[in-house]
A and B are shown apart, each in its own frame.
Chain A
Amino acid sequence: MRYGMVIDLNRCTGCHACTLACKEHNGTPKGVFWSRVLIREKGEYPHAWVHYQPMLCMHCADPECVRVCPTGASYQREDGIVAIDQDKCIGCQNCIMACPYGARTKLIDIQPYHPEKGFTPYERVAFSRHQLGVVGKCDFCASRLEEGKEPACVQTCPPKARFFGDLDNPESEVANLAARRNPRQLLSEIGTNPSVYYIEYVRR
């Protein structure tokens, strides 16, 4: 089994709902984004357009972050999810240096979103799940998967640009899309073999 995701860039509108759903579900502190949308201008006037690239941990089949982690804090689960054991992380940032996708963040400070009001009850509960000085990242919402739900970003995406499932199961929608739509893996030349695929945007 290997969990994976296919993102159809033709459907993505850059609304950032995935970013917010991730923050809400994982309670990531201010300044930490496990899911985000990169916005880039492409082409030249009058044929210019805005390119939206949703980014998250690629849960690589051959993860560089796991290879360099000196304590075993970064590890790969049997279902392909690349996870972090917060209690083993020493905060050396080797994984951050080794990750080509900028998917990891070291938590060096926890501040309320509205400093003048202090921490809200939600922030107190949500932020307490994160250790200071350790590295965090997307885990495909592993806790939701255990409940039989999809990752928060997949469920939330308004234009349904994200498809999630088992890449090893030929019957699954993601495996079908990966086989039929010729999606692209980011920086595949590095050899990380990401489990997140992108169906390229086609200008019409």
Chain B
Amino acid sequence: MEVQWPLVFFTLLTGLGVSAFSCVAVTEWLGVAESIRMQGAMTALVAMAMGGGLSLLHLSHPFRTYHISKHFETGMGKEMLLIGITGSLVLLYIILLGAGFSAQARKVVVSLGLISSIALAFEMGAIYVLPARPAWNTWFWPFVYAASAAVTGLFTIYIWAAALDGRVGEVVLLGINKATLIALITQAGTILAYMLFLREAPYKDPRRRAIRLLAGDMSFPFWGGVVIAGLAVPIGMTLYLQAMQGAHFFLAVAVVGLIGALIGGIAIRALMYTLGSEADPIL
């Protein structure tokens, strides 16, 4: 089916937002990197607001969305509910942080926010697990989406840590670096698992064969977007940052890593739609 670009950017930006806020939640619990919490939370809120706004572009009648309030059991209903909850918690956290509330109060808010963020990161992929679209009908998708969210959010936090050079501390930078590397390896694993699923999936329609990605008409976005820009470049940047702690071009390298991760996130989502042909009723 046609690539639904508003949804591509909705899931990409919302994923970035919830992941960035999850990182802030972790720093709050660990009691580290205080200087990046406000920036991280603000970035999360802006990214989620932009993502939510873009999702409306996908709808022909956005003013009718109030009907969703009666159907929170549906995938889109859950998404809307989780966005509302997570966005409110991020906003509340920003207020608490700005007003100087106790760490205890903030921990309660970020803990709830962490739970709803993780749920939302998975739900954005789970909505596509549909028997009608054999190439989507796998629970690998929620993990692909969640891993993509984790990578982009971690790089966003990395950028803030790099921008506030000196105030975060080397131990924290090393921690973010390791977490980013783990997220990238997980993302590579989820994509590999998905490729294996495509190979083994029923209804072997040529339109959704793995070979289209590996050596067919979609090989350029797959190898160029998903593998090189989305995995190789960010992994390279992460390893480079690990080796060059404290270098003055730290920020630029982190930005390159995020751009690569975003391109990879766009590419994998766009490829998902392209592979999403319907099941063949005439066998």
Interface check A64, CB cutoff 8 A: yes
A133, B61: Cβ atoms closer than 8 Å: yes
The prevalent SS among residues of A at the interface is loop
Encode A67-82 as 1/0 by CB contact (under 8 A) with B: 1111111000000000
Encode A118-162 as 1/0 by CB contact (under 8 A) with B: 000000000000001110000000000000000000000000000
- From 21 to 75 in chain B, residues with beta carbon under 8 angstroms from any chain A beta carbon are 58-62, 64-65, 67-68, 70-71, 74-75
B70, A94: Cβ atoms closer than 8 Å: no
- From 66 to 123 in chain B, residues with beta carbon under 8 angstroms from any chain A beta carbon are 67-68, 70-71, 74-77, 80
Q: Which residues of B contact A (CB under 8 A)?
A: 1, 4, 58-62, 64-65, 67-68, 70-71, 74-77, 80, 127-128, 130-133, 276, 278-279, 281-282
Q: Which residue of B lies closest to A88 (CB)?
A: B67
Q: How far does the Cβ of B134 sit from chain A's closest Cβ, in whole Å?
A: 9
Given contacts A71-B71, A93-B4, 12 further A-B contacts (CB under 8 A): A68-B74, A91-B60, A91-B61, A92-B76, A97-B132, A99-B278, A100-B278, A100-B279, A186-B281, A186-B282, A190-B132, A190-B279
Interface check A90, CB cutoff 8 A: yes
Given contacts A70-B68, A90-B60, A134-B61, whether A187 and B281 have CB atoms under 8 Å apart is yes
Interface check A55, CB cutoff 8 A: yes
Given contacts A70-B74, A100-B281, whether A90 and B61 have CB atoms under 8 Å apart is yes
Q: How far does the Cβ of A67 sit from chain B's closest Cβ, in whole Å?
A: 7
Which of these, A38, A67, A87, contacts B74 with CB under 8 Å? A67
Residues of B within 8 A of A38 (CB): 281-282
Residues of B within 8 A of A100 (CB): 131-132, 278-279, 281
Q: Which of B60, B62, B68, B76 has the most CB of A within 10 A?
A: B60
Interface check A89, CB cutoff 8 A: yes
Given contacts A92-B59, A98-B130, A134-B61, whether A68 and B75 have CB atoms under 8 Å apart is yes
Q: How far does the Cβ of B58 sit from chain A's closest Cβ, in whole Å?
A: 7
Residues of B within 8 A of A55 (CB): 281
Which of these, B70, B71, B130, contacts A97 with CB under 8 Å? B130
Bound together, the chains give a CA A14 to CA B131 distance in angstroms of 29
Interface check A53, CB cutoff 8 A: yes
Interface check A102, CB cutoff 8 A: yes
Bound together, the chains give a CA A64 to CA B64 distance in angstroms of 21
- From 87 to 120 in chain A, residues with beta carbon under 8 angstroms from any chain B beta carbon are 87-94, 97-102, 106, 108
B131, A190: Cβ atoms closer than 8 Å: yes
Residues of B within 8 A of A89 (CB): 60-61, 64
Bound together, the chains give a CA A73 to CA B64 distance in angstroms of 10
B132, A98: Cβ atoms closer than 8 Å: yes
Bound together, the chains give a CA A87 to CA B60 distance in angstroms of 12
Bound together, the chains give a CA A178 to CA B74 distance in angstroms of 33
Interface check A191, CB cutoff 8 A: yes
Residues of A within 8 A of B133 (CB): 97
Interface check A203, CB cutoff 8 A: no
